[in-house]
Chain A
């Protein structure tokens, strides 16, 4: 087990290097010069642009820039934003907590509501409530999140006046509720469907019949025997979903004015702030890696037959 974890952690290093290099070269390949763009349609002074590039190290070849970036990274320096001159680390420390809060909220919502809906429907597969769930989740899957976002804003903020349409600068828990539900609803649909299918299938398994035959109470049969085995596909999905939620919240964060990671990546891309994009993407990669490691380790807990050397 320990060796397995160590090996997995070591594997993260090449993945980490590879992904940063990839993102770095993609940013480099994009046309458009961020330093030049600062001047807009106004007069441009080429001497000044050259001087600014030199100060920022942007006049160096790609490999050299990447090398400098890596060296900086190991010293805890995420680089500096071109326009604002602020350290990227500051931007990350401002944006990450908000997105983490939003993600955790959305994730909890997905897990709890999704799994309970799935179990609820899966226990009585092909009956009315199961059909109802299938239709509901189909709707959630097919409606794009921005439609859902605007609808949510329209009904809950403008028609009912329950919440404010936007998240304020403080990003309080109660404000994040609606965006989190919108953000989580797509995964919710998948989680519910995965759980439903796997529960419905496992209900017919031999060990279930054995458990019933042993005369175990129903709560124990469903809670331990059925759930434990039905969770494996769901946990796999949730692991990768956590990363997707963190990184892919661009649309939802835009609609609800959440100043989180997704919005910051979008903003940085627009302004060609390479260091910011690479910094945030790197962190998302790390989150993905850790989440998938946790998923793999959870397998062993859920199914003791799976063992790691």
Chain B
């Protein structure tokens, strides 16, 4: 009896619930599956974007992934930033000068304040940088400070730091400090735009852990709240004096379980901006969003990196690698397999970085006959077989298979995709020199300069050089660029080095990344910077 009776009640309840939700959700939709903003819990004037949970606490020098950087960039402002052309724009700095590329003098703008009201001084920078670089504090980006004289004292290879301060940093007065480097670096100023060089207020040192959960910065936005794995909310800083003052009232960084879910919320008006459209929706997103679809390359490059310790590529003639490069049909693969989300590469550096040049070569264009000829000329591939290692969790399988197909068809060299289950395993194999012959590499600009795409990747001692490429001439060419007197000369020297790389082939550049995102009708002025990130402060709420 009990069972039957309650069952009736519940069926009734479900009908009522269905009816209730029907009333609640309808009406707003304008018929073609797209609605204006009706986002729940979003204060008026705020904009929202799908930026997932930052991996680590929000400390500038401990964040190197794009999700955390988004938030860091909104809460903190460094000395300088870059415009769409990759040119320097001073934000917190009045000027950054050097006569010898070794000693740099930084003058700060007057009257800047942290969000807790304390002033931003030279001391705020110097003390923060010393803290970041200290090995005891284990900051992910500590190595960014290694150009500064005295870095080894605070960050020794082994053991405890010998000093708490780097001797290269000196406070001159309230708003001036000097940076002395251990060797001249003509492009050091560019590095200062990286999020890691942010200043810290005094409150940080009292409780670093609490600060990481609720940062107090000097940036265009003031931190409001962090609902872990759900959203981070920041509000515009009314007293901000930098050029990138927020044009909206605040931002919600929302975390989505999948890109598909985020895309659906964009369509239904529950989200304003999406950073990347998922593969499922790529074929139709331009149709769905019209001129609100974003399709723009940014300063990042994907390449195949031969491992020069492997049996396949040990003491190889670079001609073979040139041949393999010409065997990849970049145009077709980017158009079909990658749905137009990439743009074929034409050099080792992407456009959008200073010093990017036309190498005037056909090494990056598809030519099956010439590819085969070059491989044969260079003595062929040992074992006539190569492997391309990739991580299966990153959506690389399709294009790696296509690249292999292309190489096999044009040169007759057998090519096998070598999947590692995830990025961790992939990285482990690279670190331990266990890559069979090639891996898929990817590099996003830290600063918009051609140097960043060569020195960090192909220098013999460069730590991100997992292909273990080593060449005396190349090292010398890089050194020439590092020792140049001015930034312009340095860029030019690296342009020469790039031409040299073309004859050495430390990697096969494949394509540049593109931002394939979009925004809703609720916002305007959505633009992309050289990182491929949205310029959040410029976004305005549509009238």
Contact = CB atoms under 8 A, between A and B. Distances in A.
The bracket for how many chain B residues form the interface is 35 or more
A214 B42 CA distance: 65
Interface in B247-277: 254-258, 260-262, 264-265, 267-268, 270
Interface residues of A, number: 70
A108 B442 CA distance: 48
Contacts of B209: 85
Nearest to B30: A161
Contacts of B40: 168, 170
A74 interface: no
B158 interface: yes
Contacts of A112: 6-7, 10-11
Interface in B35-50: 40-41
A131 interface: no
A185 to B, nearest CB: 13
Given A33-B428, A165-B264, A264-B229, A41 B3 contact: no
B140 interface: yes
Interface in B65-90: 65
B443 A158 contact: no
A98 to B, nearest CB: 10
Contacts, number: 192
B14 A32 contact: no
Interface in B111-139: 135, 138
B230 A259 contact: yes
Interface string B1-39: 111111110110010011011101111110001000000
Nearest to B24: A174
Nearest to B256: A257
A273 to B, nearest CB: 10
Given A164-B265, A224-B1, 16 more contacts: A33-B424, A36-B427, A40-B427, A43-B456, A48-B135, A119-B7, A161-B29, A162-B21, A162-B26, A166-B264, A174-B17, A222-B4, A227-B4, A256-B261, A259-B255, A264-B229
Contact of A177 (B21, B138, B230, B423): B21
B473 interface: no
Nearest to B27: A161
Given A32-B422, A177-B21, A166 B4 contact: no
Interface string B419-433: 001111101100100
A223 B2 contact: yes
10 contacts: A31-B425, A32-B423, A38-B140, A47-B158, A55-B138, A84-B55, A109-B14, A161-B28, A169-B230, A263-B257
Interface in A246-273: 253-259, 263-264, 267, 270-272
A254 B3 contact: no
B4 A219 contact: yes
A283 interface: no
A209 interface: no
A48 B138 CA distance: 6
A47 B142 CA distance: 11
A256 to B, nearest CB: 7
A36 B256 CA distance: 25
Pairs of residues from A and B, 3 with the lowest C-beta to C-beta distance, nearest first:
A32-B424, A223-B1, A169-B230
A27 to B, nearest CB: 12
A37 B443 CA distance: 15
Contacts of A32: 421-425, 427-428
A58 interface: no
A174 B20 contact: yes
B57 interface: yes
A168 B464 contact: no
B135 A36 contact: no
A222 B158 CA distance: 79
B9 to A, nearest CB: 9
Nearest to A222: B4
A116 interface: yes
Question: Which secondary structure dominates where chain A touches chain B?
Answer: helix
A40 B65 contact: yes
A51 B431 contact: no
Nearest to B157: A47
A45 B1 contact: no
Contact of A113 (B14, B56, B212): B14
B157 A161 contact: no
A220 B4 CA distance: 10
A307 interface: no
A153 B424 CA distance: 34
Interface string A144-160: 00000000010001111
Nearest to B144: A43
Contact of A37 (B5, B10, B268, B424): B424
Contact of B257 (A44, A84, A109, A254): A254
A166 B40 CA distance: 11
B227 interface: yes
B34 to A, nearest CB: 9
B7 A45 contact: no
Given A38-B56, A41-B443, A257-B256, A158 B138 contact: no
A36 B423 contact: no
A272 B424 contact: yes
Interface string A21-60: 0000000000111101111111111011001100100000
A90 B424 contact: no
B228 interface: yes
Contacts of A162: 18, 21-22, 25-26
Contacts of A157: 25, 264, 268
A83 interface: yes
Contacts of B354: none
Contacts of A227: 3-4
A39 B61 CA distance: 12
